[in-house]
Structure 1
Amino acid sequence: MIVLPSLLRDLLDEVDETRAAHLALDFARHVLDIERAEIEEPVLEACLVHIAAAHEAIDLGEAHPRLFRAHERLLETGMRWEGHRYDAARGVEPTLQAARVGTEQLMSDAKGYGQVSLLPCFSVAREMQARAGRWYAQRAPDGADERLAARRARWEEARWQVLHILATEPGPDDKGR
């Protein structure tokens, strides 16, 4: 039997930091697509704008004003005061978590701060699998085994991630070798 988490880790260990950053954003986008029907429209739009700005910043190698604006808009749109704490609307957390992989250091550099500890893409991949599992478990039909539904959804999300990496991996001629 293929152990998808091991295969996924092996694949992600082979990609460079830039590609890993883009993949993390792709993984979050896929979860947003799964949860789309339950994400409020202004929050969904803010998430998608943030992901696009993060992709652009990663390609440029610097945090540009559009990224900072998208980040602030996402926080303003998606964070709500609930009693004594802030809660993120659905979609905000996966977007912010995935963007951390490739933009956190860029944003820190732009603000003149020091080094930050980078979040590995594999951590984002696992969290997106867990989110997919929770989402499907909560929607399991009455009487269905929610744990089994969650397990199947996590496995399917891991399979999608592996296939996405393989489908988007540049060929040898695309890497300039």
Structure 2
Amino acid sequence: MIVLPNRLNELLNDVDEQRAALIAVDFAEHAIQIQASLVHPRLLEVTTEYLSAGREAISAGRAHQRLIHADEEYFRASWEFASRFEPTQLGNSAVMFGCQRMLEEAGARSKAARVNPTCQYIARTAQSHVGRWHAKHAAEGADRRRADRAARWEEARWQLLHVISLVPNPFEGGDGEA
């Protein structure tokens, strides 16, 4: 049997740091979109902006005012809507994976508050969130554990296919030999 989370983990070990950070944001965004009904609309809006600003900063290799503002807004909204913000914590972890050092260098974050998420952690947590969401929303009389496991597997499949779709072809652009 192919164990998708294991294959995904192997692939993520081979991805460079910047691409892993972008992938982590994609994983978080996908899981949050699935669970959007659990999140207050304002918090969802702020989280979406936070992920987008994080993606932009990762691509640029530095924090910018948009990220700093989005970071502040995310934390303000997460306190305001604390009872409905669990799915968005994954987005924060993804942004911290890719942007924490940048935010520290910009003076927007303290090194004392450092967290050390990994892309693999984001992937596993996204699978878990999606599984729980599907179990909770399973049809009446359905086996909720089975629904959870099936949804986790499908999320791992989506993640695996997503990573594969992002891997550049080494034979395009003159970098590889034909």
The gaps in structure 2 that reach 5 residues or longer are: none
**Higher alpha-carbon deviation: 108-117 or 92-101:** 108-117
Deviations 1:46-97 (A, max 9, x none): 111101100111111111111110011111122237xxxx555254211101
> Please, what is the CA RMSD of the aligned residues?
2.1
CA distance in 2, matches of 1:113, 1:76: 17
What is the aligned-residue identity percentage?
Answer: 37
Aligned match for 1:144, one of 123, 142, 145: 142
3-state secondary structure, aligned to 1:79: helix
Aligned match for 2:125, one of 124, 127, 135: 127
Deviations 1:90-138 (A, max 9, x none): 5421110111110111111222855956321001100000000110111
* Higher normalized strand content (fraction of residues): 1
Which amino acid in structure 2 is aligned with residue 143 of structure 1? G
CA distance in 1, matches of 2:10, 2:169: 18
Q: In the alignment, is the contact (CA less than 8 A) between 2:32 and 2:88 conserved in 1?
A: no
Q: Where in structure 1 do 4 or more consecutive aligned residues deviate above 4 Å?
A: 112-117, 174-177
Q: In the alignment, is the contact (CA less than 8 A) between 2:43 and 2:85 conserved in 1?
A: yes
The gaps in structure 1 that reach 5 residues or longer are: none
Q: In the alignment, is the contact (CA less than 8 A) between 1:25 and 1:98 conserved in 2?
A: yes
TM-score between the two structures when normalised by the length of structure 2: 0.88
What is the match of residue 10 of structure 1?
A: 10
**Number of corresponding residues:** 173
**Higher alpha-carbon deviation: 149-158 or 98-107:** 98-107
CA distance in 2, matches of 1:93, 1:114: 19
